[in-house]
Amino acid sequence: MNSRVTDVPYEAARRRAFAVISHPDAGKSTLTEAIALHAKAITEAGAVHGKAGRRAVVSDWMRMEQARGISITSAVLRFSYRGTLINLVDTPGHADFSEDTYRVVSAVDSVVMLLDAAKGLEAQTLKLFDVCRSHGLPVITFVNKWDRPGRDALDLCDELAARAGLQPMPLTWPIGQAGEFHGVLDCRDRTMVRYQRIAGGAIAAPEKRLESAEAAAQQGVAWWRACEEADLLAASGGGFDHERFLAAEASPVLFGAALLNHGVRPLLDFLVDFAPAPRPRMDATRRPRYLDAPFSAFVFKVQTGMNPAHRDQIAFARVCSGEFERGMVVTNGTTSRPFATKYAQQAFGRQRTTLDVAYPGDVIGLVNATALRVGDTLFGSGPPVRFPRLPSFAPAHFAVARPTDIGRGKQFSRAIAQLRTEGVVQVMRSQRRGQGTAPVLAAVGPMQFDVALHRMEWEFGAPMTLEHLPYTVVRRLSDPSQRSLVDTGRRSEVLVRDDGMELAVFAGQVELAVLQRLWPDLKLDHLVGGIG
């Protein structure tokens, strides 16, 4: 069906897919908007309207999020900058940690780690960073809010090295300490980028480049101190090294203030010039799927209810190879069933436009994709391909779910199956509790339960109650004949995940240790990096 001849590797080379990881309140929404502003994807930032207005600009699903009082969705912003097509996959911004965030990371080729200048590496940033590290993703560090009093720049770089094990490689260095932000030193050519403050940061801030002598004359001691500090880091191995960045051993560091749109352009330029373009992805048999192979993609997110008028479902898939053309019929590698792509879309904030073609690195939104599940592989012509299952992570929270109204058992079961499909929660069975009516829901973060409770009631009309179980430790039970050794009382039991895997769960490490001492032959495996 494809009559055009397209150079897929060329198209892939001019694409970037990245995500921003940060602790809540570090400024992710503000930075996202500032990036879109610089790329001219929007004309005016909502900063003048405050947080709510700003978020409404960038997140199409804000209304639903507001209704729920939490940010639970991942938007994909797609725009072009200097001839490069950028897919910015947004990670959910709530304080709790959910599997959704993990999965987003599997769909991007690099990440921007956003730090608050006053707080440095915070807890959630570190957790997310660990996930990125397990994927070998290159990390760019952006120190935000330099317009406010904060920590010392060298101190922040030390923390990056000590706690994340990343060699900091400053690309820009702030002139003046946090709270006195006029510009940055461009470490590569030793010029100064001077920013002018624009009320409310609504439009891209005018900037001017100054040669070293002029910068020194204007900034005096602050300029020389910036040069000295940047030199100090360069001398201790922090000179820019592209290979080490790609190998995720070292992280380029930039300083800025997203709210004022200061320091954002160098970040975008770096993404275009140095961040990795899509590369061949390993399939489930560990063979590379080359970029110019026929179309293939994997689903990393399924979302329902984005349009309250009717219950739609969008599956977000990351293209890995070949050319996608709207309307083509692809095969779902999991079910071997064909899937028509008539309603492919791309997302940008409130706008939702039809997407006609896509290449590796792009994210396509497939509307009414009720047959698609998180982790599914899609492929076009040629032999079947399967990408490895997305890791589903070791849950740490468990609860028995029961319909509030027994008469609505059917809706309840259907809705639970839907939540499972979307990966909102993991669903398990326990022999103790009978089949069907009382599944055990498992989650990485407790917020996943809140989302499930809310949606069961308001979206599916099947309210449920949750009885929380005391388990916190989980292992894989490799020998089913040993089930009775674990399934003993209130402090441990065996749960069967819906793919048949048996999981031994324990109230705590003590319970696990006691059983292991009692039964030295008990075979329990760690769930390394997840249970997928």
Place of tokens 């705590």: 508
Nearest 5°: CA angle at 359, between 356 and 362?
90
Nearer to ligand G4P, 148 or 311 (CB): 148
Burial class (CB in 10 A: 0-12, 13-18, 19+), 245: buried
Q: Which is nearer to ligand G4P, 50 or 461 (CB)?
A: 50
- Please report how close the Cβ of residue 204 comes to ligand G4P at its closest, in angstroms: 14
Residue 323 in contact with residue 296, Cβ under 8 Å?
Answer: no
What does the alpha-carbon distance between residue 62 and residue 42 come to, in Å, rounded to a whole number? 17
- 54-69 burial, b at 16+ Cβ within 10 Å, e below that, comes to bbbbbbbbbebbeebe
Q: How far is the CB of 197 from ligand G4P (least distance, A)?
A: 11
**Spatial distance between the Cα atoms of 221 and 176, rounded to a whole number of angstroms:** 9
Q: Smaller CB distance to ligand G4P: residue 25 or 214? A: 25
Beta carbon nearer to ligand G4P, 46 or 365: 46
Q: How far is the CB of 497 from ligand G4P (least distance, A)?
A: 33
Are the beta carbons of 301 and 372 closer than 8 angstroms? no
Least Å from the CB of residue 343 to ligand G4P: 30
Burial class (CB in 10 A: 0-12, 13-18, 19+), 218: middle
CB of 173 to ligand G4P, least distance (A): 17
The one-letter amino acid code at 238 reads G
Name which of 265 and 397 has its Cβ closer to ligand G4P. 265
Residue 497 three-state SS: strand
Q: Looking up tokens 């809705």, which residue turns up?
A: 415
Q: Count Cβ atoms below 10 Å from residue 149 Cβ, excluding itself.
A: 12
Residue showing tokens 């570090």:
26
Q: How far is the CB of 233 from ligand G4P (least distance, A)?
A: 22
CA distance 121 to 130: 12
CB-nearer residue toward ligand G4P: 148 or 197: 148
Least gap, CB of 26 to ligand G4P (angstroms): 5
| Nearest Cα residue to 389 out of 296, 293, 300, 295 | 300
Cβ neighbours of 43 (radius 10 Å): 10
Cβ neighbourhood burial of 187 (10 Å; 0-12, 13-18, 19+): buried
CB of 89 to ligand G4P, least distance (A): 15
**What DSSP letter does each residue of 90-119 carry, written as one string?**
PPP-SSS--HHHHHHHHT-SEEEEEEETTT
Q: Which amino acid is located at 139 in the chain?
A: V
Q: How many angstroms separate the CA atoms of 323 and 427, rounded? A: 35
For residue 353, what are the β-bridge partners?
346
Name the residues that contact ligand G4P, by CB under 6 A.
22, 24-30, 50-51, 93, 144-145, 147-148, 257-259
- Measured from the CB atom, the residue of 93 and 333 that comes closer to ligand G4P is 93
Nearer to ligand G4P, 47 or 369 (CB): 47
Residue 71 or 426 with smaller CB distance to ligand G4P? 71
Length of the chain: 532
For residues 29 and 106, which CB has a smaller minimum distance to ligand G4P in the complex? 29
Token couple for 507: 């109230």
Give the gyration radius of the chain's Cα atoms. Answer: 25
| 321 strand-pairing partners | 296
Pick the closer one to ligand G4P by CB: 259 or 474.
259
CB closer to ligand G4P out of 148 and 429: 148
